[in-house]
Amino acid sequence: MTDELNFLLDGVEIPFHKGQTIMQAATAAGAYIPHLCFHPDLAPHGSCRLCIVDVNGKTVSSCTQPAEDRQEVHSNIPELQQARLRLIQLLFAEGNHFCPSCEVSGNCQLQALAYDLGMTHYHYAPFSAVRAQDGSHPELFIDRDRCILCDLCGRASCSSDNKNVYGLSGRGEQTHLIFRSNSGNLADTAASVNDHAAHICPVGCILPKQGNYMQTIGNRLYDNAPIHKVGNHRMDDSTSANKGHTNE
Ligand code: SF4
Ligand code: SF4
Ligand code: FES
């Protein structure tokens, strides 16, 4: 008789302890469930919906769903992969993602998931949104057109940096990234290039001006292995704990 709790993820036994979500337990065990707004160091946000899994015929967000003993969880099934592909295509349509001109191309989690899910075309007509850029800060550049509204920067700013620099404002289509200063400019906040928040963005929205993404093609994070093998990382995020995924 053992007290160990575990569930099955696509047939693989995942141990967990009480209070962990399916995503937290899977990540700790080195199993990969697609995601963009989850980071193992931060509270779940539950906004991107990429981490959906099937539990007893019900679709739930694995980053917010508590793990339960002997639960059967399915992630890598065609219906869910297709739903994820549509979500990714929607993000591409919403945000003016033109990868060939982007500094984080090859190191980008959104792009890597698009490759992983077999995205070959936009599917949705681009919204062609134009959101204000911010180059006011001496060390950081912001391209809001690439923001996917995951609030990783906002959560990292509060809980890792003990600041309150980044946030989201507005509703629905009007939701956008803000900086908490009277002027609304990043330069007038307490933001520093050394903040965790400045190195957690999964796409090319928050960029150090000195350039952390100077790798040549072939040496970039996702050049030689897909994201379900490499995991969600940013090359300059030294605190990231979700390493060593083992999925084939
Ligand atoms: S942020 Fe990622 S998906 Fe968007 S343009 Fe840059 S590389 Fe492409
Ligand atoms: S700036 Fe980056 S980390 Fe912040 S909400 Fe947008 S995509 Fe997420
Ligand atoms: S990772 Fe679960 S909703 Fe984004």
Name the DSSP class of 198.
G
Contact 111, 165 (CB under 8 A): no
Q: Residues enclosing ligand 3, CB less than 6 A? A: 35-38, 46-51, 61, 63
pLDDT score, position 2: 55
C-alpha distances out from residue 78 to 82, 91, 114, 232, Å: 6, 20, 15, 21
**How far from the centroid of its chain's Cα atoms is residue 75's Cα?**
17
Sheet of strand 5-9: strand arrangement? 12-16, 5-9, 72-74, 52-55, 58-61
pLDDT score, position 239: 65
Distance 79 CA to ligand 1 centre (A): 25
CA distance 231 to 239: 14
Contact 108, 204 (CB under 8 A): yes
The H-assigned helical ranges of 4-77 are 22-28
CA distance 126 to 235: 29
Protein fold of 19-76: Ubiquitin-like (UB roll) (3.10.20)
Q: Which residues contact 117 (CB under 8 A, 6 or more apart)?
A: 34, 81, 84, 85, 88
pLDDT score, position 210: 87
88-104 tens-digit pLDDT: 999 999 998 999 989 99
Q: Which residues contact 133 (CB under 8 A, 6 or more apart)?
A: 141, 142, 143, 144, 145
Name the DSSP class of 7.
E
Cβ of 240 below 6 Å from ligand 1: no
Q: In the CATH scheme, what is the code of domain 105-225?
A: 3.30.70.20
Distance separating the N- and C-terminal Cα atoms of the chain: 32
3-class state of residue 159 by DSSP? helix
Q: Give start-end residues of each CATH 3.10.20.740 domain in the chain.
A: 19-76
Distance 237 CA to ligand 1 centre (A): 17
**Pocket mutation for ligand 2, best pick of 149, 195, 233 (most atoms within 8 Å of C-beta):** 149
Which amino acid, 47? S
158-198 tens-digit pLDDT: 999 999 999 999 988 789 999 999 999 999 999 999 999 99
**Pocket mutation for ligand 3, best pick of 37, 53, 88, 232 (most atoms within 8 Å of C-beta):** 37
Q: How many CB atoms lie within 10 A of CB 59?
A: 13
Q: Give start-end residues of each CATH 3.30.70.20 domain in the chain.
A: 105-225
Which amino acid, 99? C
- pLDDT in 10s for each residue of the chain, 248 residues: 456 899 999 999 999 999 999 999 999 999 999 999 999 999 999 999 999 999 999 999 999 999 999 999 999 999 999 999 999 999 999 998 999 989 999 999 999 999 999 999 999 998 877 889 999 999 999 999 999 999 999 999 999 999 999 999 998 878 999 999 999 999 999 999 999 999 999 999 999 998 766 788 999 999 999 999 999 998 877 765 544 443 44
CA distance 2 to 230: 32
